[in-house]
Structure 1
Amino acid sequence: MKLFLFSIVFASFISSAANDNYSQIDELCRKNNPDINNSVVMGCADSASDDAKKSINESYKQIIRLIKSRYENDPDTANNELTRFELAQKSWLAYRENWCDSQGFLIGSPMYSICRMDENIARADALSDYFEHLTQ
């Protein structure tokens, strides 16, 4: 159990360090593509967004494992908390899709990607912070 908690805490430090790089991925991509156009903007945002999604998925898995471990002797509580956490994540996904589709339609096509990048970075940070609080 102690080794498990140590690995979780260590992983959160690595995850937090990675979070600082998402915007840099987008900025570096745009810098390396001086002939900027909507396709470049969207491609760069998608690249940063993909990295943030990997972090979201890893944090999600860590939180699920932590809930299961913390409540291994209380399956009802574990199931309730897992359901609540999964519902929160599904609700966030629905929010992100609707919010970003609205921005893309009303502002312009690059916003489909830029909005998702921004929302994914924010969610990656939020889940990383949440996991960190759970392990303190």
Structure 2
Amino acid sequence: MTDPHANDGDEEPDENAPDASDGAEEAEAEAEGEAESEPDVPAEWMDPVDDEILELMRESYIFDPDHIETEDVCRAPHAAYRCRELSKRGLLVKQAIGMYDITELGERYLEGEVDPTELEPEDE
């Protein structure tokens, strides 16, 4: 005996009818949401604020982590840490205690000419 309400493929599926793929679609959407929430950085060693720090250094001549905090990029202690990390990779140069400037390599990175995955930390 056939179900008179069954869809034989000629009709639009009933929106209220349970669908076996609903769980898979929800799981996929959840996984996409998690992937979107993870910061997208060009190299494993990089931080999401690094590009903003480099841009500020290039455009505004901001040398000091306190100024980076003033621009609402991140808090000064984190900016100081990231400036040290960026200088280890040659993207920034330390001018004085707590004072940094962008290097030619940093400029080239911002122009897309340098692959950050190939930048090794310099020995201190």
Same topology, TM > 0.5: no
Point out the structure with max Rg over C-alpha: 2
Structure richer in helix, relative to its length: 1
Higher relative contact order (CA 8 A, sep 6+): 1
Structure richer in strand, relative to its length: 2
TM-score by length of 2: 0.26
